[in-house]
Structures are given as C-alpha cells and as structure tokens.
C-alpha cells in the first residue's frame, strides 16, 4: 500500500464514510503518529493512527476484498449491538480475519431478504450513496391488494414526511386469497420507505422481502440465516458499477475450509444439564443396572430355576407366559405353614422343589428300558 489520505485509509478499513471521517479530522479527533492530523494528511504503511483513543496501524498490504450474500430472516436487526438485547445479523455471519464486516444498507426488524456484507468500506459507502442511484427490488405482500388508482399514485408520487417518493416499477406477482404479492423497485433507501408509501395510500403491508440489490439476486436455495460468498464474476460486476477496480487477489479456499468459513457462528451459554437415563432400546449394549433391594434376613434367597422343557416352551411362545404361576417371596414361617397345610395333589412349593431320586431301580428286564407307568 502506498501513501494515501487518512480519510481514504479509514474508510477502506470500514470506520465510516469519507465525509464522516473528514468531519472527525476537522474537529481534531484523529492523530497520526502522535500529532493532530489535518485535511490532506497522508499516511504510509506502518504509521499509527489514533482514532478517538483507538490505535490503528496502517497495514502493509490492502485487505483482500470479500463480499458476502446473507439471507436475513425476520427477527434480526442490522446494527452491531442492540440495547434491547435482540439478535443481530453479525451473530450469524462467518468469521473474518482481515478488517470487519460492513452491511450495505439496512433492513428493518420485520423485513427479510438479501443483505450484502463486505469488508471494503469504500465499496459499501458507494453502494449506499444516493448519488449512485443503486437499484433495489422488493417483494411486498399487501392485505387485500391494491386498486388501479392506488398503483397509479404509488408509481407517480406519494407525499411522505421527509419528501415525495415514488416506485420506479410496480408489477403484480400473484397471490391467493386476501393477500396479493407485488414486486416494487426503488433507487433510494429511506427508513421504512416502502411501508410508509403503501400506508399513505391506505394499504397494509403484511410481509416484505428484499429480492435484489444492485442487480444481485437472492439465491433461491440460500436458507434464512445463512451466508455465501459472492462469485468472482458477480463481484467484479458489482465493483465496476460504482467505479472501483476489481480485486486481483482472491482468497483461495478448499471445500472444507469454505464450509467452515460460511458456517454461522452463534455464541450460546452452555448450561450444565442433568444426564439422561440410558435408553436400552437405543443403546442395547449399555443396559441399566437393576435397582438393589435392601437385604432382608427373613426372605428366602432367590435361586435361578433349572431350565426345563416347560420353560423352553414358554420362551418360544411368550404369549403363554400368562399361564405361568408367579412366585412371590415368602418368609420361613409362611413356607413351613404352606408345606404343612398343602392338601392338594401338588402345591406351588412342591412344584418348585426338585423331586428326590429313587434309590431302588425299577423292575424290568436287564439291558432294556423300564416300562412306562408305575412299577
């Protein structure tokens, strides 16, 4: 970077427009290398500029220009900070190492659509300056639609508090029911100008979206809250429109780096949340531990039943489990009473106990299996 005037250097770095910075220089609020600067003072790389107490070193090389398309959703403001604590667009923009992000124009809190963002302050100032007559196109949804008389008045002249205004173009864009869409074109950017113009002809705006700025259209696949770099050919076309030279240096990024750079950043406070219980259906390899019951000396310890033909049948046919008898823990006294008072052919306790083995062999022919039935 060669020697340049202070207002141009600070405007390129994004600290304000040239006219604003010239006012700061005239008021003696800017110093260069410890001395108060004057109009026409030039600086070179390595010089230190004191801007209202903020130290700024003139870079050796100029910043690599970047232009980003951001799809602003409703519910975000375009300012860097908000005393009410509302979210800003800068919380969703990708990170930048050279310079700082500057929004080209503003969008209301309830307005969505295309927002150009760049780190080149001179480009941003020229795109917003009224003398350049940059074209802006919006999609407006009007409750009840507009009559022919209202359309004629909006395209001719509408008296507002800050002077007359008119749409350069107004075309119908469809719509169903009570709401109808229109595409309107302006070449100036006053505060809430479109809403005030339609309200002046007794219309009601139910939705407003910016779909184009300086010939750059909103990409149809760019979701709200996302950003993407402007293609090089469109960026060159944009800077030539305001009389600047195209950027010869490009920031080359591979696919992974570009994906990380365009990922929106949202700072959130991570609160310590309680751990979730393990779901055995989603994580079968991590089964929850069974709750341990306090030991009771009066309870009989549970013994795993011996696998029998009946238990195997129940495993194969789960619907037959309803026929199985559920065993409940009994005290020793209750067990003795149930054993003594069992008068039926086979009690529940007798079915759980294994049968004693016969000490004497059954009668039968040696070498052959004993006959079935009682001996």
What H or E segment, with its residue span, contains residue 359? Answer: none
Distance (Å) of CA 77 to CA 32, 199, 332, 362, 373? 35, 22, 77, 97, 93
CB atoms within 10 A of CB 129: 13
Q: Could you say which of 47, 50, 82, 108 is catalytic? A: 108
Give the three-class secondary structure for 319. Answer: helix
Look up tokens 């339609």; give the residue.
198
Let me know: does 60 contact 1? Beta carbons within 8 Å: yes
108 is catalytic: yes
The helix-helix angle for 232-241 and 121-128 (nearest 10°) equals: 60
- β partners of residue 212: 137, 217
Query: What does DSSP say about strands 205-213 and 112-118: parallel, antiparallel, or unpaired?
Result: parallel
Let me know: does 52 contact 25? Beta carbons within 8 Å: no
Which positions are catalytic? 108
């Amino acid at each position: 970077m060669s020697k340049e005037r202070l207002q141009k250097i600070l405007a390129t770095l994004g600290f304000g427009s040239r006219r604003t910075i010239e006012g700061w220089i005239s008021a003696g609020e800017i110093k260069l290398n410890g001395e108060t600067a004057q109009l026409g003072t030039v600086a070179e790389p390595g010089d230190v500029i004191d801007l209202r107490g903020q130290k700024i070193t003139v870079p050796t090389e100029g910043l690599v220009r970047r232009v980003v398309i951001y799809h602003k959703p409703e519910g975000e403001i375009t300012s860097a900070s908000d005393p009410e604590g509302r979210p800003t667009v800068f919380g969703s923009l990708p990170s930048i190492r050279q310079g700082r992000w500057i929004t080209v124009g503003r969008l209301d809190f309830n307005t969505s659509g295309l927002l150009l963002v760049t780190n080149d302050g001179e480009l941003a100032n020229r795109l917003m300056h009224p003398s350049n007559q940059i074209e802006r196109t919006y999609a407006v949804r009007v409750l009840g639609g507009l009559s022919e008389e209202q359309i004629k008045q909006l395209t001719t002249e509408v008296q507002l508090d800050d002077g007359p205004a008119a749409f350069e173009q107004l075309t119908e864009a469809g719509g169903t029911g009570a709401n109808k869409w229109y595409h309107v074109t302006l070449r100036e950017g006053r505060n809430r100008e479109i809403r005030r113009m339609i309200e002046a002809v007794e219309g009601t705006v139910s939705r407003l979206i910016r779909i184009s700025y300086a010939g750059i259209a909103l990409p149809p696949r760019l979701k709200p809250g996302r950003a993407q770099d402007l293609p090089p050919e469109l960026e060159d076309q944009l800077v030539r429109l305001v009389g600047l030279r195209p950027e010869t240096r490009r920031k080359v990024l591979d696919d992974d780096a570009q994906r990380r750079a365009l990922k929106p950043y949202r700072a959130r406070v991570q609160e310590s949340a309680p751990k979730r219980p393990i779901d055995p259906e989603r994580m079968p390899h991590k089964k929850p531990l069974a709750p341990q019951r306090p030991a009771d000396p009066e309870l009989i310890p549970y013994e795993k039943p011996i696998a029998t033909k009946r238990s195997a049948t129940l495993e194969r046919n789960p619907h037959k489990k309803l026929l199985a008898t559920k065993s409940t823990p009994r005290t020793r006294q209750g067990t003795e009473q149930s054993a003594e008072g069992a008068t039926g052919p086979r009690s529940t306790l007798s079915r759980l106990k294994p049968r004693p083995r016969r000490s004497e062999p059954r009668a039968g022919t040696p070498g052959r299996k004993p006959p079935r039935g009682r001996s």
